[in-house]
Amino acid sequence: MNQSKLNIVLYEPEIPQNTGNIARLCACCGASLYLVGKLGFSLSSKYTKRAGLDYWDSVDLHKIDSMEELYKMFPDGTFYYLTTKTDKLYTDIKFKDGDFIVFGPETRGLPEKYVKDDNARTIPMKEGQRSLNLSNSVAIVAYEAIRQNGI
C-alpha cells in the first residue's frame, strides 16, 4: 500500500463540516485521510461536501472499519494520539515521513486505551478550557509535521 508522507486519522468523526475542512487541508498538504469506524454523518452530506469544496477529488481518502484494520495495513506505522488527557506536547514529536496522527470524535475524544498510550500527545491550552475545534487541532499538528519534514 502506498503511504503518504503524512497520514491524518479521524476516529469516529461526528461533525461533517470538520471532516470537510480536514479533507481540504489534506488535499492542500498532500496528506492521506483515514476515516475510521462509525461516522456521525454521511460522506454525501451537503455540509461535508460544502466544507471540502472542490478539493474532494484531490484527497487520498480511505474509509476503514477499525483501528485494528489500520494497524494491520501498516504494521510498522508510528501512530500518535491527540488528546487533552496528557501533559506530553505534540511539539516534542520528531515526525517522520509516513507517521499517523490520530484524532478522536468531537464530543468525547479518543477512547482511554489510546490516551494512555506512550504516543499520546496534547496541544497546550489555557487552563479551564475543554478543547480546540477538531479541524483547528488537525491543522496545528499537521503543519508541525510539515515544518519538520516539508510537504
CA pair distance 95, 2, nearest whole angstrom:
18
> The domain that contains 24 carries what CATH number?
3.40.1280.10
Each residue of 51-92: pLDDT tens digit?
555 677 788 999 999 999 999 999 999 999 999 999 999 999
Instruction: Confirm whether 132 is domain-assigned.
Output: yes
Instruction: Confirm whether 1 is domain-assigned.
Output: no
- Pairing of β 6-11 and β 120-121: unpaired
Instruction: Confirm whether 35 is domain-assigned.
Output: yes
User: What is the pLDDT at residue 150?
Assistant: 75
Instruction: Confirm whether 85 is domain-assigned.
Output: yes
DSSP string, 54-70: GGGGG-EEEEES-HHHH
CA pair distance 33, 74, nearest whole angstrom:
14
Instruction: Confirm whether 135 is domain-assigned.
Output: yes
> What range does the domain containing 69 cover?
6-149
Instruction: Using a cut of 0.85, tell me whether the model's pTM lies above it.
Output: yes
Instruction: Confirm whether 55 is domain-assigned.
Output: yes
Q: How many domains does the chain have?
A: 1
Instruction: Confirm whether 142 is domain-assigned.
Output: yes
CA pair distance 37, 64, nearest whole angstrom:
6
- Pairing of β 99-103 and β 79-82: parallel
Instruction: Confirm whether 66 is domain-assigned.
Output: yes
Each residue of 11-26: pLDDT tens digit?
999 998 899 899 999 9
Q: Which residues, in sequence order, are CB contacts of 144 under 8 Å at separation 6+? A: 90, 91, 93, 95
